[in-house]
Structure 1
Amino acid sequence: MSKVIIANTDQSLDFDSDQPNLLTFLENNNFEPQFHCREGFCGACRCKLISGNVEYQQEPLAFVRKGEILLCCATPVNDIEIDIPKF
């Protein structure tokens, strides 16, 4: 089980491997990250990956810079720390 640490909060959550992706996981844990398409096309759910690694169920079509991930199609490979933008 991987830990998901949310930067700038005191939150450290255990990622449930039954969750399809990080976006759904965060929503189920009372976070409200930005999103639109939920399929890796738009990039609205982009966030900063501070540490750790993720894998994609499907390769995102949206542009993702080094050090960023798309929550809608990523799952953690190991413990990760992410910074979710605040809007």
Structure 2
Amino acid sequence: MTDRTITLSASGQQLACKSGHRNLLEVFEHHQVEVEYQCREGYCGSCRMKLVRGTVEYSEKPLAFVAEGDVLPCCCLPVGDIEVEF
């Protein structure tokens, strides 16, 4: 995987998603961006955020309901550059 860029809608801040990151939640933690979460398995849904632009890929199908336009960063990675809002 090549590096991907995650843009935060509210601030315009751009974060690098490197090949070693296992999910978006790790990217946020690496860049010290606070995101609420309760798990790392796609079950509870508390980390849910809006995907403004781009596409993500899930390592496994999330157990929590994910509405169209939402993502669970605990269990997905960007396919390309993305923009999220939370």
The answer to whether TM tops 0.5 is yes
Matches within 5 A, 1:31-70: 31-70=33-72
Q: Look up the SS of the partner of 1:59 in the other structure.
A: coil
Which TM-score applies when normalising by structure 2? 0.94
Q: Which moved more, 1:48-57 or 1:11-20?
A: 11-20
Q: Is the 8 A contact 2:9 2:85 kept in 1?
A: yes
Runs of 5+ consecutive residues of structure 2 not aligned to the other structure: none
Q: Which residue of 2 is the match for residue 9 of structure 1?
A: 11
Which TM-score applies when normalising by structure 1? 0.93
- Once residues 30 and 14 of structure 1 are traced to their aligned partners in structure 2, the CA distance between those partners, rounded to angstroms, is 12
Q: Is the 8 A contact 2:36 2:47 kept in 1?
A: yes
After superposition, what is the alpha-carbon deviation per residue over 1:12-54, rounded to whole angstroms, capped at 9, x for unaligned?
1221121010001101101110100210000011000000000
Once superposed, what is the RMSD of the aligned Cα atoms?
0.7
1:29 to 5, 25, 31: 31
Distance apart, 1:10 and its partner CA = 3.0
Instruction: Using the aligned pairs only, state the percent identity.
Output: 43
- Once residues 37 and 70 of structure 2 are traced to their aligned partners in structure 1, the CA distance between those partners, rounded to angstroms, is 15
- Once residues 75 and 56 of structure 1 are traced to their aligned partners in structure 2, the CA distance between those partners, rounded to angstroms, is 7
